[in-house]
Amino acid sequence: MKKLISIVIPIYNEEENIPILISELEKVTNALASYSFEFIFVDDGSIDTSVKVIKEFTKKNKNLRLIEFARNFGKEAAISAGIYEAVGDAVVIIDADLQHPPKHITQFIELWEDGAEVVVGVRNNSGKQSRLKQLGSMWFYKIMQRISHTDITPYATDYRLIDRCVVDEFNRFTERNRMTRGLIDWLGFERRYFYFDTPERQHGEASYTMTKLISLGLNSITGYSMAPLRLAGYLGIVVLLVSAPLGLFVLIEQYIMRDPMQLKFTGSASLGIAVLFLVGIVLVCLGLVALYIAQIHTEVINRPLYVVRRKRTQTHTEGQLLK
């Protein structure tokens, strides 16, 4: 029996990219005749004609499956849904905007056959990203590597191949705030890296806006590390180390030695400074704690990660709607 490779593609407003992507994918998969393939498109609540375009293709290509979300749940949820639905011996995750060149699937599979359980696509360049995004991602990786125990490779993308054993473990994750890359890295397994150049996005606009990226970054910092929480503690210690001798100094100089240095501290001035300082610390700590509580909150209410409107799978006989 041929090995089955599932290709998971999250889609959000990609009507112009889909036909190009499918033809590129077909080129690659046709050349790999010793494997069979299924394409799992996960429509993440697109508001353009993406769904219609994909449905057209399902008529021609029986290996094409479509999962439609009831609304936009974000790329991470879309990828998780695709991975969950995949039945292949390995799953390849790829962006629809052709920034992850499909031709590399061949090399991914070679590495997999060579024993890799996770093949990670790593960007050689950051393409034509804005300077702000580049700087942002550079700092993000620097901070993450410092503070988390998970080994996160800079410029590693979501373009990955994962073996069935990794897929099964991945499906056990229950958290809602998720970053697919981070979770796969956390799992470990035998990893290999594949370096590729990112071409520019073909059509449409990158829908990961700066705010979405920042919130993804913040989520992964609070999700993978307790360092910010400890930071509050460190801050408190530093402030104590500064304010305690200062207070002692004022006490001794002013009240015990009767101001030999003629500094004439007024009581309310020193009190005011001390109070402001302490209020600052308390607010910082509260803010940090709030970040964690927010995360606990989203995990505890235990909502489903996504909502599927319908699934469409072309069986060998006829198109069939799965309930």
What residues line the site for Mg ion (CB under 5 A)?
Answer: 97, 99, 206
Nearer Cβ to ligand UDP (210/300)? 210
Of Mg ion, ligand UDP, none, which one sits near residue 207, judging by CB under 5 to 8 A according to partner kind?
ligand UDP
Nearer Cβ to Mg ion (80/99)? 99
Of ligand UDP, Mg ion, none, which one sits near residue 6, judging by CB under 5 to 8 A according to partner kind?
none
Nearer Cβ to Mg ion (110/200)? 200
C-alpha pair distances (Å), 56 with each of 53, 65, 66, 317:
5, 12, 11, 17
Supply the minimum distance, in Å, between the C-beta of residue 14 and Mg ion. Answer: 10
Greatest distance between any 2 Cα atoms in the chain: 98
For tokens 């077909």, the residue is 26
Supply the minimum distance, in Å, between the C-beta of residue 58 and ligand UDP. Answer: 18
Name the nearest CA neighbour of 75 among 43, 122, 51, 34.
43
Supply the minimum distance, in Å, between the C-beta of residue 17 and ligand UDP. Answer: 8
Nearer Cβ to ligand UDP (66/288)? 66
For tokens 């994909």, the residue is 54
Of Mg ion, ligand UDP, none, which one sits near residue 285, judging by CB under 5 to 8 A according to partner kind?
none
Q: For residue 253, what are its two tokens?
A: 């100089």
Supply the minimum distance, in Å, between the C-beta of residue 22 and ligand UDP. Answer: 13
Nearer Cβ to Mg ion (50/99)? 99
Decide if 181 contacts 80 (C-beta within 8 A).
Answer: no
Q: Which residues bind ligand UDP (CB under 6 A)?
A: 10-12, 14, 44, 72, 74-75, 78, 95-97, 99, 201, 206-208
For tokens 């004439």, the residue is 264
Going 54 to 118 to 120 to 75, the CA torsion angle's sign is: positive
Nearer Cβ to Mg ion (15/190)? 15
Of Mg ion, ligand UDP, none, which one sits near residue 246, judging by CB under 5 to 8 A according to partner kind?
none
96/78 Cα distance (integer angstroms): 12
Of ligand UDP, Mg ion, none, which one sits near residue 78, judging by CB under 5 to 8 A according to partner kind?
ligand UDP
Q: Please report how the helices 180-187 and 210-224 are oriented relative to each other, as an axis angle in degrees rounded to 10.
A: 30
282/278 Cα distance (integer angstroms): 6
Supply the minimum distance, in Å, between the C-beta of residue 55 and Mg ion. Answer: 23
Pairing of strands 308-314, 319-322: antiparallel
